[in-house]
Structure 1
Amino acid sequence: MAQTSQITNIPNLITFGRIAAIPVIAWFVATENWTLRMIALVLFIIAAASDWVDGYLARKWNQTSPLGRMLDPIADKLLVGVMIVILAYDRSISDLDLLPACAILFREIFISGLREFLGNTKIVLHVSKLAKWKTTLQLVALIVLLIEPALVGFGIYSDLILWAAGILTVWTGIEYFRASWPHLAGDAK
């Protein structure tokens, strides 16, 4: 494939599209209109799938870039974070389920800050395979929460998936924190 600007390469354009879709998805859910919620569900699934597609294409076409490495996790965190806020707003996330939802938000913000801090020291926290599964489970939990109102008795499943995502999210956050501790404490060699 011909050399392109890192801003206009296809994988990064897909990531930009994912970011641009977030406010549209959120607005459709917030309107509390069932048809718009189902359109939001379809857009969310496309946005979630685009996370895999942009990475695959970047590697296949040798179009990985510093911009893409920065934007991709930001797009994921925005997609997850905004959806948690909107689903809490419309009460799709119950009071008790706010615990794993808040744990997810806390971890995502904390680890982003930790990565930024360590980036100033030239230390890179690489994304683990478990963290990739964590993102997938978060996205699945949000998909299930979006569709839950249409499926009578499905609430227990959405709760279980959200709690599993929350636990996995906290676990990976602890792993990253432990891996970075020597650099934070000044004990790294």
Structure 2
Amino acid sequence: MTLNIPNILTILRLAAAPGVAIMFLYFNRPWADWFALVLFVGAALTDFLDGYLARLWKQESKLGAMLDPIADKVMVIIALVVITGFSGMNPYILLPATLIIFREVFVSGLREFLGDTAGTLKVTKLAKWKTTAQMVGIALLFAAGAFEHYFGMQSLAMTSEMVTDAISGNGPDELGLWWKYKGMVFSSWAGIIVLWIAAALTVITGWDYFNKSMPYLRDDA
């Protein structure tokens, strides 16, 4: 078992996955949202860095090949569970999150069943785009949660007319509600759109893997 820098980065990404959820246990919002966002983005960056360094330094190993997809899936699934929780089970988030989690578990089970022949299911470029879309969408939704908490707490004691005037520019805005509202709306809708794109890519690549595995699933194979 080789423990080099690329593998250490992969292990750190795997360890960071539960840390995203732990942030909400030990910190109040919006600090938990920001800490989770920073931890998630940092871990996501290692996903690109560890593979690049492994190829650059010719340090590709079986340990890295085994841990890398596990770390990606664990990080995405835990983050989606956290987001669906603090979003109040928003159906626009819950449905794509369900499709993504279903596909990740299904493909992992498929690879486990195929055993040695799972090597024939090569990671495609579309699957890499899928992973990128998942991470970008999740990062945007963590940011949306932080903006939403700021906006909600600071406008709590204000009337609806005062809030409307502040965000429309027709009244005083000492608390900066305008930019917090815009940040909340942009990051929320952008995150949802990217998450749906990720879900579509997830379903397409999942079907592609299943279709390629069909010859190995026949009883006469």
- Assess same fold via TM > 0.5: yes
* Alpha-carbon contact 1:88-1:98 (below 8 Å) kept: yes
Aligned mate of 1:170, from 169, 184, 203: 203
Q: Which residue identity is paired with 1:27?
A: I
Q: Does residue 182 of structure 1 match 2:215?
A: yes
Give the percent of matched residue pairs that are identical in Structure 1 and Structure 2.
47
User: What are the Cα deviations for residues 160-188 of structure 1, in whole angstroms up to 9, with x where unaligned?
Assistant: 11111111100100011111111112465
The CA distance in 1 between the partners of 2:184 and 2:72, in whole Å, is 29
Q: Which residue identity is paired with 1:84?
A: L
The CA distance in 2 between the partners of 1:27 and 1:123, in whole Å, is 34
Structure with larger Rg: 2
Q: Does residue 118 of structure 1 match 2:151?
A: no
> How is 1:124-163 mapped onto 2 (pairs within 5 angstroms)?
124-149=120-145, 150=147, 151-154=183-186, 155-163=188-196
Aligned to 2:12: 17
Gaps of 5+ in 2: 148-182
Q: Which residue identity is paired with 2:140?
A: V
* Alpha-carbon contact 1:115-1:124 (below 8 Å) kept: no
From the two aligned structures, give the one with the greater helix fraction: 2
The CA distance in 2 between the partners of 1:138 and 1:122, in whole Å, is 23
User: Secondary structure, in 3 states, of the residue corresponding to 1:153?
Assistant: helix
The CA distance in 2 between the partners of 1:75 and 1:112, in whole Å, is 12
Quote how far apart the aligned CAs of 1:99 are.
Answer: 1.1
Q: Does residue 27 of structure 1 match 2:22?
A: yes
> How is 1:37-76 mapped onto 2 (pairs within 5 angstroms)?
37-76=33-72
Aligned length: 183
Normalised TM-score (structure 2): 0.77
Gaps of 5+ in 1: none
Normalised TM-score (structure 1): 0.90
* Alpha-carbon contact 1:134-1:169 (below 8 Å) kept: yes
C-alpha distance 27-111 of structure 1, shift in aligned 2 (>3 A): same
Q: Does residue 108 of structure 1 match 2:104?
A: yes
Q: Which residue identity is paired with 2:110?
A: L
* Alpha-carbon contact 1:32-1:90 (below 8 Å) kept: no
* Alpha-carbon contact 1:93-1:145 (below 8 Å) kept: no
